[in-house]
Amino acid sequence: MDRKKFIKTSGIGLGIVLTPGLLSGQNLKPETYNTNSVKPKIIKDSEGEILNVIGDIQTHKLIGSDTGNQIVEWVDNVEPGVGIPPHIHTKEDEIFRVIKGQIEIMVDGKVTVLNEGDVAFAPKNIPHSWKVIGTEKAKMITSAFPAGIEIMFQ
């Protein structure tokens, strides 16, 4: 049976509609959010899987298998002029925290310059993009939740 159709036509009500994953139409299995098997993890600055995602040098620190599929987090180490073009995520929210340098970020049509210590939130279904500005290489921590986007990057 089609999950969305079932939710719309059943008399179960808001309790099910507001259950995580159902509202967004994700096909979540009960074990998806099982954090009983999640173990503590310490990741040093020099550790992680390094990926080049259209010029964005990402070092993945935590992935879904580390966090019970709750969150994925990576560090962007990016040269001036490099960035990610406007796009939309349909499943993931993202948080961007600038550690070093300056990032020009666009979220829902609003352009802002982020400096060291600044944070931006880009909810799912909202267009966003970013680009390193100035002359200094930038370092930014990006978190996406729920996890899963790391599979596309790989």
Domain ranges in the chain with CATH number 2.60.120.10: 41-153
Query: What's the pTM?
Result: 0.74
Preceding amide of 127 cis, omega within 30? no
pLDDT confidence of residue 32 = 54
Nearest to 53 by CA among 81, 80, 92, 82: 82
User: Per-residue pLDDT for the chain (154 aa), expressed as one digit of tens each?
Assistant: 343 443 343 333 333 333 344 334 444 444 455 556 789 999 999 999 999 988 889 999 999 999 999 999 999 999 999 999 999 999 999 999 999 999 999 999 999 999 999 999 999 999 999 999 989 999 999 999 998 887 767 6
Please tell me the distance from the alpha carbon of residue 154 to that of residue 141, in angstroms, as a whole number. Answer: 18
pLDDT value at position 151? 74
Question: Would you identify the CATH topology of the domain 41-153?
Answer: Jelly Rolls (2.60.120)
Q: What is the pLDDT of residue 35?
A: 57
Query: In this structure, what token pair is assigned to residue 58?
Result: 């990402």
Residues 139 and 120: beta-carbon distance below 8 Å: no
Separation CA 1–CA 151 (nearest Å) = 28
**Quick check: helix, strand or coil at residue 71?**
coil
Contact (Cβ atoms closer than 8 angstroms) between residue 98 and residue 116: yes
pLDDT value, residue 33: 55
Distance spanning both ends of the chain, measured CA to CA? 32
Structure tokens belonging to residue 134 = 């100035």
